[in-house]
């Protein structure tokens, strides 16, 4: 576009060229409509690629295990919604439940009958039977859940 | 010599892009009363690239298995932002592509553009027609709704009545005796891997030949 305008300037016999302001106006129109068109294509594509937030109905209560499944001095991992939980029966027969996600890096913790504590095998984190972090890298205690034993079912409820 | 020229020269010595630039610079375009019919090949190519782009986008959320396919399509059109748009563009553009493809084919036929030396261009185009119909047939099953299921059932049944090869062909298409989840994953594979690969090669040959031979001039001109 710029080239042809220059050539016409060199040649006085050429037909009257459009005034620069009109040319600038037309360039502006062309430019903005090109940008708008590209935007109308690119914007939906980028929006499409952003994964939508999935609203997951939070589960507040779940039957974690049957009474017979958890003997004294053992633990069992259960599914609490989409996250893991652990239910433990201590040596004295007390039933407790915690979130099984280690507060360090989300590994799944397990009950260690020899140490009588909850351990995380990934980085040697140790929690006591109240969920308190006692040694290793975990920065916070495990979240404790409320336990109800009704008949044969051990029901765990988010506090 | 400016910096851009230097970069161009460096690339040209290694890639020979000057030849490509020269080919791209001088193009003979058809300028006669039949010119309008020459638009449809390019339109088909454009719609094909729309299909590739929107198809890749749909792949981000589509799940090709019997118990997730339908839900994932519902998820795309109700939950994903502009999902309805991307899916509709894919579906509409597919239909328009078949339309422009047929117009392109008939215009080439009636303008006798298949004449020597363009026979291979014609044949590769005819193969592309079958590939595109294959795209349509396999893509139709993917939403995994009632319409898709029965269309595929009937469509594969038609393949099944061909003498001798019909029965094995039906079993090959369905991945078994019935239209099941096995058919779905199979058609998905055809739709996003096998057919695109073949189509890419054929389109490459087809477009390259058009560039080599230039535009055909109808005998009546």
- Chain A interface mutation, best of B52, B54, B55, B86, highest count of A Cβ atoms under 10 Å: B86
Q: Are residues A96 and A72 in the same domain?
A: yes
Whether A138 is in a domain gets the answer: yes
* Domains contained in chain A, number: 2
DSSP string, chain B: --HHHHHHHHHHHHH-HHHHHHHHH------STTGGGGHHHHHHHHHHHHHHHHHHHHHTT---STTTHHHHHHHHHHTSTTHHHHHHHHHHHHHHHHHHHHHHHHHHHHTTTT-TT-HHHHHHHHHHHHHHHHHHHHHHHTT-SHHHHHHHHHHHHHHHTSTTTHHHHHHHHHTSSS-SHHHHHHHHHIIIIIHHHHHHHHHHHHHHHHHHH-PPPPTT-
The answer to whether the predicted template modeling score (pTM) of the entire model surpasses 0.95 is no
Q: What is the tens place of the pLDDT at every residue in B108-148?
A: 999 999 998 999 999 999 999 999 999 999 999 999 999 99
Scanning every residue of chain B, which has its alpha carbon at the shortest distance from the alpha carbon of A53?
A: B79
Q: Are residues A130 and A69 in the same domain?
A: yes
Q: Are residues A144 and A74 in the same domain?
A: yes
CB-based contact A48 B79, cutoff 8 Å: no
Cα-to-chain-centroid distance, residue B12? 32
Chain B positions in Cβ-Cβ contact with residue A54 (cut-off 8 Å): 79
Mean pLDDT on A50-60:
76
Whether A108 is in a domain gets the answer: yes
**Average pLDDT value for chain A:** 85
Q: Are residues A15 and A81 in the same domain?
A: no
Which residues of chain A are at the B interface, by a Cβ-Cβ cutoff of 8 Å? 44-45, 47-52, 54
- Residue A140 Cα, gap to closest chain B Cα (Å): 36
Model pLDDT, residue B52 = 97
Chain B positions in Cβ-Cβ contact with residue A52 (cut-off 8 Å): 79-81
Is A12's pLDDT higher than 80?
no
CB-based contact B81 A45, cutoff 8 Å: no
Of A36-50, A82-96, B56-70, B166-180, least confident by mean pLDDT is A82-96
Q: Which structural domain range is residue A128 located in?
A: 61-157
Q: Are residues A21 and A84 in the same domain?
A: no
Model pLDDT, residue A25 = 93
Q: Are residues A15 and A65 in the same domain?
A: no
Whether A55 is in a domain gets the answer: no
Scanning every residue of chain B, which has its alpha carbon at the shortest distance from the alpha carbon of A51?
A: B80
Is A5's pLDDT higher than 60?
no
Q: Are residues A75 and A153 in the same domain?
A: yes
Nearest Cα residue to A17 out of A30, A3, A29: A3
Model pLDDT, residue A74 = 87
Model pLDDT, residue B172 = 95
Q: What is the tens place of the pLDDT at every residue in B156-176?
A: 999 999 999 999 999 999 999
- Residue A83 Cα, gap to closest chain B Cα (Å): 22
Q: Are residues A70 and A140 in the same domain?
A: yes
Q: Are residues A31 and A68 in the same domain?
A: no
Cα-to-chain-centroid distance, residue B169? 23
Is A90's pLDDT higher than 50?
yes
Which span out of A61-65, B40-44, B216-220 was modeled with the highest average pLDDT? B40-44
Looking at per-residue pLDDT, the higher value among A146 and B24 belongs to A146
Q: Are residues A24 and A95 in the same domain?
A: no
Whether A106 is in a domain gets the answer: yes
Q: What is the CATH number of the domain that holds A126?
A: 2.102.10.10
Chain B positions in Cβ-Cβ contact with residue A39 (cut-off 8 Å): none
Q: Are residues A153 and A89 in the same domain?
A: yes
Q: Are residues A77 and A15 in the same domain?
A: no
Model pLDDT, residue A158 = 83
- Chain B interface mutation, best of A52, A53, A55, A56, highest count of B Cβ atoms under 10 Å: A52
Q: Which of A47, A51, A54 comes nearest B82 by C-beta? A: A47
Q: Which of B53, B80, B85 comes nearest A52 by C-beta? A: B80
Question: What is the second-level CATH architecture of the domain B34-213?
Answer: Up-down Bundle (1.20)
Is the Cβ–Cβ distance between B182 and B190 less than 8 Å? no
CB-based contact A52 B85, cutoff 8 Å: no
Mean pLDDT on B36-53:
96
CB-based contact B86 A47, cutoff 8 Å: no
């Amino acid at each position: 576009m710029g080239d042809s305008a220059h050539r016409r300037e060199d040649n006085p016999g050429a037909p009257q060229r459009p005034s620069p302001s009109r040319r600038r106006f037309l360039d502006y129109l062309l430019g903005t409509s090109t940008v708008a068109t590209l935007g109308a294509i690119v914007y939906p594509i980028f929006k499409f690629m952003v994964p939508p937030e999935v609203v997951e109905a939070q589960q507040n209560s779940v039957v974690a295990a049957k009474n017979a499944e958890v003997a004294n001095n053992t633990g069992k991992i259960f599914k609490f919604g989409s996250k893991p939980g652990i239910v433990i029966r201590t040596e004295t027969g007390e039933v407790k439940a915690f979130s099984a996600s280690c507060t360090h890096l989300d590994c799944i913790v397990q009950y260690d009958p020899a140490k009588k504590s909850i351990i995380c095998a990934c980085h040697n984190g140790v929690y006591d039977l109240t969920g308190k972090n006692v040694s290793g890298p975990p920065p916070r205690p495990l979240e404790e859940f409320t336990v109800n034993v009704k008949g044969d079912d051990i029901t765990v409820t988010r506090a | 010599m400016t910096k851009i020229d230097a970069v161009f020269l460096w690339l040209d010595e290694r890639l020979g892009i000057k030849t490509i630039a020269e080919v791209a610079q001088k193009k003979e375009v058809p300028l006669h009363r039949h010119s309008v019919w020459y638009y449809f090949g390019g339109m088909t190519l454009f719609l094909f690239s729309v299909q590739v782009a929107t198809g890749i986008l749909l792949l981000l959320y589509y799940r090709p298995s019997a118990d997730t396919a339908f839900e994932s399509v519902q998820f795309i059109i109700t939950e994903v932002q502009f999902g309805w748009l991307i899916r509709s563009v894919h579906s509409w553009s597919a239909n328009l592509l078949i339309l422009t493809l047929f117009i392109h084919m008939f215009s080439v036929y009636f303008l006798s553009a298949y004449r020597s030396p363009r026979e291979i261009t014609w044949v590769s185009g005819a193969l592309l027609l079958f590939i595109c119909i294959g795209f349509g047939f396999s893509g139709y099953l993917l939403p995994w709704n009632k319409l898709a299921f029965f269309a595929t059932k009937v469509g594969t049944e038609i393949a099944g009545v061909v003498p001798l090869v019909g029965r094995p062909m039906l079993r090959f298409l369905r991945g078994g005796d019935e239209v099941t989840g096995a058919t779905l994953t199979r058609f998905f594979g055809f739709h996003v891997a096998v057919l695109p690969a073949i189509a890419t090669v054929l389109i490459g040959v087809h477009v390259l030949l058009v560039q080599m031979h230039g535009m055909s001039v109808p005998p009546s001109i």
